[in-house]
Amino acid sequence: MTEDYKEDNLISRTETYLNEIVVHDLEKSIEVLCASASLLPNAEDVGVVSRCIDAIALNASKEQLVSGLARLECDVGSKKLKMGCQDWWVEDLSALRVDLYQRVISAMRKTGVRSDSIIASLIHYAQNSLKGVGSENSHPGTIIEDEQRTIIIETLVGLLATENITSIPSSFLFGMLRIAIRLDASLRCRLELERRIGFQLDMVSLDDLLIPSLKTGECFFDVDTVHRILVNFLRRIEEKGDDDDSHGEYESDERDSPSHGSILKVGRLIEGYLAEIATDPYLKVQKFIAFIELLPDYSRVVEDGLYRAIDIYLKAHPSMTDSETKKLCKLIDCQKLSQQAASHAAHNDRLPVQMALRVLHFEQIRLKEALSGNPVVAGDVSLSQPVSPRDNYASLRRENRELKLEIARLRARLSDLEKDQLSMKQGMLREKSDHRKAFSSSLSKGIRRITRKKSSWGQTCNA
């Protein structure tokens, strides 16, 4: 095949084909690289693999620069044109073996291919190569298949870790995390996915957090994984707050910080998650309390969601000790309960008596404040936005109706207490009168016996 045998032999023709056609054509480069996978390591030794990888990365970068104008035109064009403006090579790269794909992505990153294109390629490659893995209806694969899939997901997550972009679909990250748990991937792989999810926890849904546990005899849901995700989120918020303080941009308290909105969203999300896992009979109270204590107090403006989750947990775990119940209920701030939740808590037999008394105490304070003209609303947050007179009037009417209902409810409760007190007094009076009657009757009987004995004794003496 060399020139020693004949001029323009196979090697020279191959070199000409690679230099003049393959290297300058992105699609041809991908085709040759796919074919080279079955010829390793010979294809690597003669330099075909490295030349194809460099050609793919360089051509992809050039194509993105050239198509920049076309993308702008697609933004004002039809939907059909918009689909044509996508990077077509994203699908073609999915045919590569994972080790070659890893080298292609690394080369693309060096040549300046956009991060969003690389992320799109990673997502498409994962969907192609890991289809069906981790779903509820998936069948367990062979040991060799699971090992190959484990290598694929660990490689993809390793590539993902080098990208600074945070706008990755949360559904994709959770899907990858479920697969990593299902395949028992490396701890580093799972922690990286948890860290990525923690960056955007305020944008995930409740269904995403309900990760089933694969361990028998333990919780139905993977509570530890969600706990670590929440820790990552709070760590990011704390680091962001430190950066803001160092730059002197925000001098207000935590409630007015730009991250407070995200914390409120996550607070509501975790409340919903706690209500979902509260029915799990295997969920230990220590883990349940750890979730509640992890979030800061200002993440919950109103405690109704937390109260509902704790009430569900108490109902599903009737064998809890009094000390555990008291420790759990102490986490509820009774001042942040709405009127409806406070009314329910005051009559809830599952709660400790001390909490019911606290709720009634704060209800009395709220009623006194309302009667004095300064109504206190649970979770009231001062807002700086101007309020229109119509909205202000509607708010006052709503508060007036709520106060009337609260006063009527408290009056009815006071009337019931007075009736109970009156019936108790009447019962005590009846008991006293019955005791007096019994004492007087026994005394009169005794006097009559003494009188009879005296008369009989006198008759005996006279005789």
pLDDT above 50: residue 250: no
Task: Supply the angle between the helices 143-161 and 170-182 in degrees, to the nearest 10.
Answer: 140
pLDDT band at 364 (very low <50, low <70, confident <90, very high): confident
pLDDT band at 138 (very low <50, low <70, confident <90, very high): low
The predicted pLDDT at position 384 comes to 34
Spell out a b/e string for 388-419, using b for 16 or more CB atoms within 10 Å of the CB, else e.
eeeeeeeeeeeeeebbeebeeeeeeeeeeeee
Higher pLDDT, residue 44 or 71 = 44
The predicted pLDDT at position 69 comes to 55
Average pLDDT for residues 246-251, to the nearest whole number? 46
* Lowest mean pLDDT segment, chosen from 162-166, 200-204, 213-217, 283-287: 162-166
Alpha carbon distance 263, 300 (integer Å): 9
The predicted pLDDT at position 375 comes to 54
pLDDT above 90: residue 54: yes
Average pLDDT for residues 179-194, to the nearest whole number? 93
Residue 201 DSSP code: G
Q: How far is CA 1 from CA 10, 38, 42, 48, in A?
A: 5, 21, 15, 17
Work out the mean pLDDT of the chain and round it to a whole number: 79
* Lowest mean pLDDT segment, chosen from 267-276, 288-297, 396-405: 396-405
Alpha carbon distance 306, 427 (integer Å): 42
Average pLDDT for residues 280-301, to the nearest whole number? 89
pLDDT band at 62 (very low <50, low <70, confident <90, very high): confident
The predicted pLDDT at position 185 comes to 93
Q: Which of 268-282, 291-305, 324-338, 389-403 reaches the highest mean pLDDT?
A: 268-282
